[in-house]
Structure 1
Amino acid sequence: MNIKMMNGLSGFMLVLAVAFPAASFAQTVDLLQAVQMSLNADPRVKEREQLVESARALLEEAQANDGWRINANLFVGLAPAVSGGFYQGGATSGTTPRTDGPFPGGLSDWTSLQVALIKPLFTFGKIKHYSEAAEGNIDVKRGDVRISKADTVMDVKRAYYGYLTARDSRRFLEDVQNRLDSALKRVSQNLKDDNGESKQSDLYAMQAARGMLGKYLSQAKAIEKISLNGLKVLTGVGMDADLQVADDSLTPVALPKDSLAELQSKALQDRPEMAQLEAGMRARRALVAAKKSEKYPNVYAGIVSTANYASRRDRLNNPYVYDPFNNVGATPVVGVKWDMAFDVTDAKVAQEQAELEALNYKNQYAQAGIPFQVSEAYQHVHANYQALQDLAEGATAARRWMISSLADFNAGLESADKVADALKTYALTQAEYLKTVNDYNMDVAQMYRAAGELK
């Protein structure tokens, strides 16, 4: 292929890309890919991640209280207008002082600026304890992210396995319905020919079985579509996208080899809820200490300055006379500042102490409740695994019964009602098998989630 042909092909592919966007092409994903896509796209996870950033900002705010701060106040008002020196006419001697005239003999604009540049030197642990509480809050929010991700994984598995279950149910129900339609057609023809091979009751039995199959088939089609749409939403491709799953059929996952004791021990160490409780108690202890430190003052150093200016007041160059409307000054300071209401502070300490005790009781409950959750999921896994073995044998036998009954019916050796029973039994047994596979797979997922594993 020469360069000219390659350029022409590239242009043609570009036209195709514009005319048919990527969303119009089928995208096939397996379960792991669907989980990863959903974790990247789920806005619930992103929301929790932003709350972590908010918690980090609170920590920065707490730590920033140890730095310089400025308090400034600037306003414009009115002051009496005066002119001249300390004595009338500006003379340095005499006994008649300057007068301002009967107020309001004159008014002047007055601009005032007060500035304090302060840095805390010692706060009796306030900044330290509030910073520790903020750090604990960050860890709590991180736990929320892990929980949200675990929820997303469970939602994806529920949609993925639900889709496979519904699709396989639809496929085998359509197969059973086709077989039943063939038998129903044969019965109708026999009745029409009046050859005595079929009775009217055979027709009714077949029609009743078909009605039941039609109900289950309609439900399977609806669940198949709902599950696939849910998977599209979770993965972020959009409901209009053409998404397909890589698995050809629903199969049970491998039976976990972990013992119950191992899973329970892992859960107490790895569950995000346990990490959240530890972080929450750490934060509450720090808040109790911070509220107690509110009883003590803050020691600080800084610079305090003031400046006042009135345009219609002459400045007094006399160190013994102070004009509050026309002056300037600044000084370094070291001070102690209290800002406390005794009864209110005691109430806040009691509140934080009660919150800490509540977390202690919650921790005790978690120590007992989490192993129970693991045990519950573990028992469901093993119960459904055993049920799968029995249902697999039953579904195989039911299919053989259905096929042999249809063969005998076609040979005139079996009645239609027996064939209908065989068809219904196979449909119900196979449907229950698929449902149990779905339940088993979800139980395994729930067991790992209860143990604190994101898989």
Structure 2
Amino acid sequence: RMHNGTKFLLVFLTLTFFPISPGHSAPKRKGVRTRVTYGELLKLAITHAPSLRMARLKLAGYDAMLSGSKLLYAPTFTISFQGAPSPKFTCVVPRAWIDSADLGGMSEKEFREQYCVGTNRDDSVTLDLDGYALRFQVKAVQPLFTFGKISYSKAMVRAAVRGGEANLAAKSRDLQLLLRKAWYGRKAVHLIAALLKDAETMMSKAKVKASAWEKESKITPVQLIRLKLGENQILRKKLDVGKMDAISLATLRLFAGKDVDIEPGNFSVNKTPPKPLKSLMEQALKRRPEVRALEALRAAKTAKVGLARAAFYPNLGIFVQYTLKLSNSDDPKSVYANDGLHGNSLAFGVGLEMKFDPARMITDLRLARLERREADAQIAAAKDMLRLKLAKARQEVVYQIKRIKLLSRAVKLSRSWTLAISDQEEQGTFNPKEMVDALTSYFTMKLALIEARYELAYAWAALRHATGETI
């Protein structure tokens, strides 16, 4: 029967890491794998993590918006060009004027435009569109005072940048926590494999002795079956470890992007009781990037309220406007000018500008205020959830510390049991069933102790993650 801790480690490695990338399968173990330290593995994971790449791209977008917000005080330009068919107007003058006048070098067209008394068309609508009219206009506005619109816009962008930085830090810490799980899991697999190798060696020695006792009729068939069942139990655990070995290697490959392994060996655990919950909560509120992200969100929503309120006020600025109009109609210079189809104009001055849409503006203000309240509620809810998360993480650390103390005593007791069985063997009062039970108890307790050390190491990592400390 698989030990509960073994089940936990196996299920954890299978369910926690593999769903991240369903397309990856356990790599084939060909040749020697590159052994890496935790720092090297972390660098590889940061390079290959899609979540960090997305967070960096989002932050780059916010930085671009912040750079663009510096130009909000620059003048804005509006350029328009229109062209359309229109009736062609021709100036009319009495023919006698042209015949009797000294044109002085003027063409007949120039003379008609100069002394125009009317046009060949009246004011009635006509569909005889035999001419064209063109209009070009450019307008520049330099804002002087916007009642806070620019300031609120820049505040929103700065808050977005802070939120993006906090989000990137949070994604990085989540990755580090997952990496610590994989690291400690691989360390535990190495230790469990070494433990089972020792168990196989001791069980092999017991089988040799049992064969000799069987010839001497010192062991019953029932006791021999019990010994073989113990051997079968060790083989089943070895099979479980083989599965965990493949899963842990595939997990490391998922993070590193290539086949790597870590140095086998023990890992230290901190058995010092954690700080009180109140102290942990104060520390988490100061350091957690998720808290900073929510505070940035609230700042952005507050600026959005100010921007919606400032929309009810006009903008004061300096404006410059130039207009050019062209047409193939005659350009009369008299009081009989038919239309504004020709000429150019330049205007400048100080003016007020405002787009007034009360329905939209009032709705935007109401929604902005509701979003700010929602951000406040999110912060309050996040603090409650953080307190609960810290309480669970702290209690898990306390539980695993006490569990390790009990298991350490159990390992010593089971070791004493095996030594007592050895003494009985020398005295000739050996019982094979008790030997199998003693060996099974010893290795079960050792296995549970390894798993408890792994769970305590991860519990500390989870607590440091919750408080915002270095993982």
Residues 164-183 of structure 1 mapped to structure 2, 5 A cutoff: 164-183=187-206
- 8 Å CA contact 1:87–1:96 kept in 2: the answer is no
1:199 — aligned with what?
220
What is the rounded CA distance, in whole Å, between the counterparts of 1:109 and 1:189 in structure 2?
A: 118
2:435 — aligned with what?
419
2:137 — aligned with what?
114
Residues 377-388 of structure 1 mapped to structure 2, 5 A cutoff: 377-388=393-404
What is the rounded CA distance, in whole Å, between the counterparts of 2:272 and 2:302 in structure 1?
A: 43
- 8 Å CA contact 1:250–1:434 kept in 2: the answer is no
What is the rounded CA distance, in whole Å, between the counterparts of 2:198 and 2:187 in structure 1?
A: 17
Alpha-carbon deviations, 1:406-437, whole Å to 9, x = none?
68569864333222222322232112111110
What is the rounded CA distance, in whole Å, between the counterparts of 1:282 and 1:86 in structure 2?
A: 72
Corresponding residue SS for 1:64: coil
What is the rounded CA distance, in whole Å, between the counterparts of 2:335 and 2:201 in structure 1?
A: 112
2:104 — aligned with what?
none
- 8 Å CA contact 1:86–1:316 kept in 2: the answer is no
Identical aligned residues as a percent:
16
1:16 — aligned with what?
none
Report which stretch shifted further, 324-333 or 103-112.
103-112
- 8 Å CA contact 1:159–1:228 kept in 2: the answer is no
2:38 — aligned with what?
31
Report which stretch shifted further, 151-160 or 165-174.
165-174
- 8 Å CA contact 1:83–1:314 kept in 2: the answer is yes
- The 1:210–1:316 alpha-carbon spacing in structure 2 relative to 1, beyond 3 Å, is farther
- The 1:405–1:309 alpha-carbon spacing in structure 2 relative to 1, beyond 3 Å, is farther
What is the rounded CA distance, in whole Å, between the counterparts of 1:202 and 1:437 in structure 2?
A: 35
Give 5+ residue unaligned stretches, structure 2: 1-29, 96-108
- 8 Å CA contact 1:82–1:106 kept in 2: the answer is no
Question: Equivalent of 1:125, from 109, 130, 148?
Answer: 148
- 8 Å CA contact 1:48–1:141 kept in 2: the answer is yes
2:232 — aligned with what?
211
Corresponding residue SS for 1:306: strand
- Cα drift, residue 40 of structure 1: 4.5
2:54 — aligned with what?
47
- 8 Å CA contact 2:418–2:435 kept in 1: the answer is yes
Aligned residues: 426
- Cα drift, residue 269 of structure 1: 1.6
2:17 — aligned with what?
none
Counterpart code for 1:213: I
| 2:377 paired with 1:355 | no
- Cα drift, residue 220 of structure 1: 1.9
Report which stretch shifted further, 349-358 or 365-374.
365-374
2:65 — aligned with what?
58
Alpha-carbon deviations, 1:345-397, whole Å to 9, x = none?
22222222122222223333444443443343223223212221221232233
- The 1:383–1:72 alpha-carbon spacing in structure 2 relative to 1, beyond 3 Å, is same
| 2:182 paired with 1:159 | yes
- 8 Å CA contact 1:268–1:371 kept in 2: the answer is no
Scaled by the length of structure 1, the TM-score of the pair is 0.82
- 8 Å CA contact 2:92–2:118 kept in 1: the answer is no
- Cα drift, residue 47 of structure 1: 1.8
State the superposition RMSD in angstroms: 3.2
Counterpart code for 1:277: L
| 2:239 paired with 1:223 | no
What is the rounded CA distance, in whole Å, between the counterparts of 2:47 and 2:94 in structure 1?
A: 82
- The 1:405–1:318 alpha-carbon spacing in structure 2 relative to 1, beyond 3 Å, is farther
Give 5+ residue unaligned stretches, structure 1: 1-22
Question: Equivalent of 2:329, from 309, 313, 331?
Answer: 313
- 8 Å CA contact 2:190–2:265 kept in 1: the answer is no
Residues 72-83 of structure 1 mapped to structure 2, 5 A cutoff: 72-83=79-90
- 8 Å CA contact 2:137–2:322 kept in 1: the answer is yes
1:433 — aligned with what?
449
- The 1:249–1:93 alpha-carbon spacing in structure 2 relative to 1, beyond 3 Å, is closer
| 2:396 paired with 1:389 | no
Alpha-carbon deviations, 1:268-299, whole Å to 9, x = none?
22222322232222222111111111112222
What is the rounded CA distance, in whole Å, between the counterparts of 1:448 and 1:420 in structure 2?
A: 42
- Cα drift, residue 198 of structure 1: 2.5
- 8 Å CA contact 1:87–1:97 kept in 2: the answer is no
